[in-house]
Amino acid sequence: MKAKTNVLTLRIPQDLKDRIEKMADQQGVSINQLAMYAFAREITEMETRGYFQRIYGTKSGKQLRAGFERVMSKVKSDRVPNWDKPVEQ
């Protein structure tokens, strides 16, 4: 089943339109495909940022670090590869 589509008209500065056309051409896609990709990606990033702000936004950096250290203390050090071990200061 094909998804229903809608038309969205945007008013943008000529300079931005030129940049969008150039990028679409470089990517070998239509302006519509590039716009859908850019919108979807940015909306997803905004949603993700909002999610983490809701979950962790009330905690301080110190609290986040303490929670991280609490979890990491449960990992046996002999099972952590050298490249993933914390750097001693």
Tokens of 51: 């999610």
Distant-in-sequence, close-in-space partners of 37: CB < 8 Å, separation ≥ 6: 29
pTM of the model: 0.60
Q: Is 77 exposed, middle or buried (0-12, 13-18, 19+ CB in 10 A)?
A: exposed
CA distance 40 to 11: 19
Average pLDDT score over residue span 26-46: 96
Contact by Cβ (8 Å): 24, 31:
yes
**pLDDT surpassing 90 at residue 84:** no
- For 46-73, the pLDDT digits (tens) are 999 999 889 888 889 899 999 989 998 8
